[in-house]
Chains A and B, each alone.
Chain A
Amino acid sequence: MTDITTEKARIGAPSAQPFINGFTEEGESLSPLNAAESKSPLAGEAVKRHSHGGGVGVPDSSRAGRLTSYKLADFKPLTGMEEDWRFTPLKRLRGLHTEVLNGAAPSVSVTAPDNVIVETVGRDDRRIGSAAIPEDRVSANAWENFTEATVITVPAEVQADGEVSVLLTGQGTAASAQHVVIVAEKFSKSVVVLDHQGTAVVSENIEILVEDGAQLTVISLQEWNDDAVHASSQQAKLGRDAKFKHIVVSLGGDLVRVTPSARFTAPGAEAELFGLYFADAGQHLEQRLFVDHAVANCKSNVLYKGALQGRNAHTVWVGDVLIRKEAEGTDTYEANRNLVLTDGARADSVPNLEIETGLIAGAGHASATGRFDDQHLFYLMARGIPEEVARRLVVRGFLNEIIQKIKVPAIEERLTAAVERELAATNH
């Protein structure tokens, strides 16, 4: 009843024993397939010609070495052996990685304050590609197939009064592509909520541009129906002194895979990446994030918390934080916590920290996956609270830490109610 695995490391701490095969303190080891093929024409150095990442000479094991391209053809068909797909059940992707994504995309309905500009644009709009470039085949497939994009612009120095609410409603199970661009112009301040509902099989690219001095919060809610399949690449590019808060909440859907990233392009910026997920029997909820400290004096803080219940509930959290040689003065911390409520559930958690300079303010990572903390239970029960109620209080409390960070009362209430529903479904 105590923690199953606990790992905590700070720079300079003695190296821990490897907990999981294939992992070292340096991070994930390459899958044998990638390693074997790294000299073939379609992988390794040849592939990196397309890359806007590390380029030639950066080892494949580095996050900087990952292939990025707008062209689907540059990505090999998936086998499931790829490092970034090895936890994902490809059979359940329902064609997002193999088919032409020409199904009806989820409908987009935006409610925004008057001073926010909402447009629907074609593929040739200049803002397409301003903040993101696909990092995997599913994302590239969506990029190649989307027909129109929604662009939300918070003009310079505008303080949006109330949140921008983007309701994305699934239109069925035909594999589809979606594209949204969010531009927070200089010194603007805003909150954008991406609210995913209904049934969809969709690969989505969300581009987020946070210009100099802008403050932007993006909340992505996945409250899909049980049969939805959703892959979402949410890439943010941060300007000087920008403040970006990103919150992922995944509750519904058969398979949800969110890959958020924050790239620092100028000093002084801050990124906070939070996440909450609650997987029920059979659900696969995956989150892989990337924080790219490419410049000096930026700050990042990552916290994802998940609860799992029921047979074959599966969650995956992979947190890649890269501190490049140039990124002196970086301050970063990432943590993932999972609470396993029943037998038969599985939580994978992989914090990766790559550090290429020692001249930083701080860097750390932590991951813990466990059952209920007996001490919490005892304390609450010693105050007369029955075990059942105490358990709920603890889970609610555990997840509340993320909900409290949202700061949009209506959404906080809605999520609290949603967590309540998830808890009610538990039969302890």
Chain B
Amino acid sequence: MSTLEIKDLHVSIDTEQGTKEILKGVSLTIRTGETHAIMGPNGSGKSTLASTIAGHPRYNVTSGTITLDGEDVLAMSVDERARAGMFLAMQYPVEVPGVSMTNFLRTAKTAIDGEAPKLRTWTKDVKAAMAQLRIDADFTQRNVNEGFSGGEKKRVEILQLELFKPKFAILDETDSGLDVDALKVVSEGVNRAHAEGNMGTLLITHYTRILRYIKPDFVHVFVDGQVVEEGGPELADRLEEEGYDRYATGAGAATIAAADAAAQA
């Protein structure tokens, strides 16, 4: 049983116009076995939260804490975080030319486990996981994400999730750009990993569509860098019907003005 705890997190980025605060005090606690959905409109800071947890250098934490079973995650380097049990399924997985999938998967697994996986079982595990995600066997010979379609890249992210067995999985808009079939395949993968019972999931999404396949225990609505509403799965259903517009009134003046402008248009 593990706990990932985010407390009053403030995050900013450097832009050409100066420093811009994106997360304005986010608190969230995720435990093993739980699935939390973070939903919100574009630009609300959902992906920033995901990247910050993973340690992307672009995001500066100005205050607040992230701890994993009491350990200070913010003090860890990117690779230490992954070895501590965090996994970020990226929204835009990066192509790494010249590094084969086989080599990459084995190197990562070795780093995470602290020892090389046994070759025979490992090869079998990889094959089986790939088959379940309907990834062609020849992908192992291809370079990491190189020339993969958007859907293939997402499936390969989930392949890693299943193979690396993290304590916490953060899925950053894994559903975006997927057709229904791919969405099902990917969701099944997440559900399989979850069913092993040793993982907590933070599911970041703009749409409610994926929540038909992955059932969240908690739903948090993000607007303008803050959680504006929290609830159970029923909140997702409500969002599907009503959209995010009603949160505009509860948010800052700028948002209200924007909503007014939209209403007048």
Is B164's CB under 8 angstroms from A383's CB?
Answer: yes
A369-381 interface mask toward B, CB cutoff 8 Å, 1 = contact, 0 = none?
Answer: 0000011101111
Identify the stretch in A83-91, A171-179, A290-298, A387-395 within 8 Å (CB) of chain B at 4 or more residues: A387-395
Cα distance, A378 to B97, chains bound together (Å):
14
The CB with the most chain B CB atoms within 10 A, among A376, A382, A394, is that of A382
CB contact between A376 and one of B96, B107, B112 (< 8 Å): that residue: B96
Q: Does A80 contact B (CB under 8 A)?
A: no
Interface residue range, chain B: 20 to 34
Interchain CB contact under 8 A, A397 and B108: no
A: contact size bracket: 20 to 34
On whether the beta carbons of A401 and B164 are closer than 8 Å, the reply is no
Q: Which residue of chain A lies nearest to B94 when distances are taken between CB atoms in the complex? A: A379
Give which listed residue, A374, A379, A383, contacts B57 with CB less than 8 A: A374
Q: Is the CB of B97 within 8 A of A398?
A: yes
Query: Contact at B78–A393, with CB atoms within 8 Å?
Result: no
Of the candidates B57, B82, B99, B144, the one whose C-beta lies within 8 Å of that of A384 is B82
Checking A379, A380, A384, A396 against B98 with a beta-carbon cut-off of 8 angstroms, the contacting residue is A396
State whether B82 touches A379 (Cβ < 8 A). no
Cβ-based interface call for B47 (8 A):
no
A394 touches B79 (CB 8 A): no
| A interface secondary structure, majority | helix
CB-defined contacts of A374 to chain B, threshold 8 Å: 57
Contact status A381-B94, CB under 8 Å: no
B65 at the interface (CB under 8 A from A): no
CB proximity of A388 to chain B, nearest CB, Å: 10
**A18 proximal to B (CB < 8 A):** no
Known interface pairs A378-B78, A384-B164. Does A397 touch B98 (Cβ–Cβ under 8 Å)? yes
Chain B residues near A400: list those with CB within 8 A. 98-99
Interface flag for B9 (CB, 8 Å): no
- Decide: B94 and A397 in contact? CB cutoff 8 A: no
Q: Is the CB of A376 within 8 A of B79?
A: no
Q: Contacts A382-B54, A389-B107 given: A399-B79 contact, CB under 8 Å? A: no
Query: Any chain B CB within 8 A of the CB of A386?
Result: yes
B88, A382: Cβ atoms under 8 Å? yes
CB pair B77–A381 under 8 Å, yes or no, is yes
Bound Cα distance from A286 to B54, whole angstroms: 41
How far is the CB of B159 from the nearest CB of chain A, in Å? 12
Cβ contact within 8 Å between A393 and B99: yes
| Structural contact, B108 and A385, CB atoms closer than 8 A | yes
**A383 contacts B94, C-beta separation under 8 Å:** no
Of B55, B98, B108, most buried by chain A (CB within 10 Å of CB) is: B98
Contact of B82 among A376, A383, A397, A404 (CB under 8 A): A383
A397-B97 Cα distance, complex, nearest whole Å: 6
Bound CA span A397–B99, Å:
5
B97 → A minimal CB distance (Å): 6
CB < 8 Å neighbour of A383 from B97, B103, B160: B160
Q: Which residues of B contact A404 (CB under 8 A)?
A: 98
Write the nearest CB–CB distance from A335 to chain B, whole angstroms: 12
Q: Within the assembled complex, what's the spacing in Å between the Cα atoms of A9 and B83?
A: 42
* Interface contact A393-B107, CB-CB below 8 Å: yes
Q: Does B67 interact with chain A (Cβ within 8 Å)? A: no
In contact, A379 and B90 (Cβ under 8 angstroms) = yes
Residues of chain B contacted by A393 (CB below 8 angstroms)? 96, 99, 103-104, 107
Interface residues of B in 155-190 (CB under 8 A from A): 160, 164
Binary per-residue interface labels of chain B (74-91) against chain A in the complex, 1 for a CB within 8 Å, 0 otherwise: 000111011100001010
| B148 smallest CB distance to A (angstroms) | 13
Bound together, the chains give a CA A374 to CA B94 distance in angstroms of 10
Return chain B residues, CB-CB under 8 Å to A398: 97-98
Chain A hits for B54, CB < 8 A: 382
Q: Complex Cα distance A385/B57, Å?
A: 16
B246 contacts which chain A residues (CB < 8 A)? none
Complex CA gap A379/B157 in Å reads 11
Task: Please tell me if the beta carbons of A385 and B98 are within 8 angstroms of each other in the complex.
Answer: no
Q: How far is the CB of A366 from chain B (nearest CB, A)?
A: 14
A389 to B109, CA, bound (A): 13
Which residues of A lie under 8 Å from residue B164 when comparing CB positions?
Answer: 383-384
Residues of B close to A390: CB separation below 8 A: 79
Nearest chain B CB to A221's CB is how many angstroms away?
19
With the chains together, A380 CA to B144 CA distance in Å? 10
B90–A401 touching, CB < 8 Å:
no
Known contacts A397-B96, A397-B143, A401-B98, A380 near B104 by CB under 8 Å? yes
B13 interface residue (CB < 8 Å to A): no
B248 on interface, CB distance cutoff 8 Å:
no
Bound complex: CA A176 to CA B111 (Å): 51
Pick the residue among B77, B88, B97 that contacts A387 (CB under 8 A). Answer: B77
User: In the complex, which residue of chain A has the Cβ closest to the Cβ of B88?
Assistant: A382
> Residue on B with the closest CB to A397?
B98
Give the B-binding residues of A (Cβ under 8 A). 374-376, 378-387, 389-390, 393-394, 396-401, 404
A-B contact pairs, 17 of them (CB 8 A): A378-B57, A378-B94, A379-B94, A379-B144, A381-B79, A381-B82, A384-B82, A384-B112, A386-B79, A387-B77, A393-B103, A393-B107, A396-B99, A397-B97, A399-B98, A401-B97, A404-B98
9 A-B pairs closest in CB distance: A397-B98, A384-B82, A397-B99, A400-B98, A383-B108, A381-B78, A384-B111, A384-B112, A379-B94
Further pairs besides A381-B79, A384-B112, A396-B99: 19, Cβ < 8 Å: A375-B94, A378-B57, A379-B93, A380-B108, A381-B77, A381-B82, A382-B88, A382-B90, A383-B160, A384-B79, A384-B83, A384-B164, A386-B111, A393-B96, A393-B104, A396-B98, A397-B143, A401-B98, A404-B98
